[in-house]
Amino acid sequence: MATNNSVTFNRLITDKAEGLMEDTRDFVAMRAFGVATVAKRMGEYPKFKIEDLYRNSLRKRAVGAQYAETATDIEMVSFVCADYGVEEPIAYETMEEMGEGYKQEIADKLMIDAYRNYEEVVCKYAFDANNWTTYTGVVSNPTGQQFIKFTDGTNNVSKTIRDLKKVVKLASGRMPNAALITNDVMDALLENPFIRDLIAVTRDQIIDESFLAKVFDLEHIYVTEAIVNEANLGGKDMKFGTSGKMLLYWDGGVGRNSLTAPCAMKVVRLNYGDINSPSGVGFYEREDESRDVTFLRVKQRFTPVIQYKEAGLLLVDCI
């Protein structure tokens, strides 16, 4: 007899719900940052010291001499994957009326919830001013760590972004190749007179984040668009979550999903023993016969980590 404590992993539901990722364009966090999977919820991994990212250790060798020796310095980074999950009760009576497909429909909804949860946690962490060197937009006379807001018609944003990329290059030895921006910043950039002039000259048929990536000489620009209902059950409180921000960062390129590969930020994600999915999301079931319900549980464990603070630059109050 099943009890409240009997929990069973459901591979079929997990695999079917996983297919939603292909059509979920609004959630960009899984594409914006590398994802390193681990077998344990907590632990440590080695990373290079920032100085080793731009040190030139090679020297001209004199005839007959040995090559100069060097040593790469490393430090240990600790991580703890947070546990996120929720259960939804499905009444036996409802299952009989709606059919077995109803369980999959609930699972699909919960999978979107899992993507939304991942998006909110990772993007809020990426936009946290405590994690990066931060530059602030002002309306005039920028000094120090300031720049002219993107909504100012006199701001040649293409040059502004190029100059800010050099700040990261000097600090980390790596040129930013990606940007994460909020939806309102995307709108402001497309309305900037200098960008509109480029649109007119190039006559691009598709004006989107890929166009701006070419303008700023970036490989990718990711636009956060997910809407989160922050109200309690039954209420509506739709919020975007954050606004007016841009993160310029180096994403590590090829191999960024390795735990030790250098990049500005990555996500460490636990793969459960019975899950091996791109999102690390798994579905479980447990029966509660005293209430005549089946609980469908979705869970995931992950944590975003800043690997090299110097390889990112956060721009706030952009508009």
Spans of all domains in the chain? 7-52+75-316
pLDDT of 71 > 90? The answer is: no
> Angle at CA 93, nearest 5°, toward 92 and 96?
90
pLDDT in tens, 117-158: 898 899 999 999 999 999 999 999 999 999 999 999 899 999
Under the banding of pLDDT at 50, 70 and 90, the label for residue 21 is: low
Query: Are the CB atoms for 222 and 33 separated by under 8 Å?
Result: no
DSSP assignment of 16-50 equals: HHHGGGGG-TT--HHHHSEEEEESSSEEEEEEE-G
Percent of the chain with pLDDT over 70: 87
Residue written as token pair 């993107």: 150
Confidence (pTM): 0.88
86 DSSP β-pair partners: 298
Query: Are the CB atoms for 132 and 172 separated by under 8 Å?
Result: no
Would you state the CATH architecture of domain 7-52+75-316?
Answer: Alpha-Beta Complex (3.90)
pLDDT of 62 > 70? The answer is: yes
Helices (H), 173-233: 183-191, 193-202, 209-215
Query: Are the CB atoms for 180 and 317 separated by under 8 Å?
Result: no
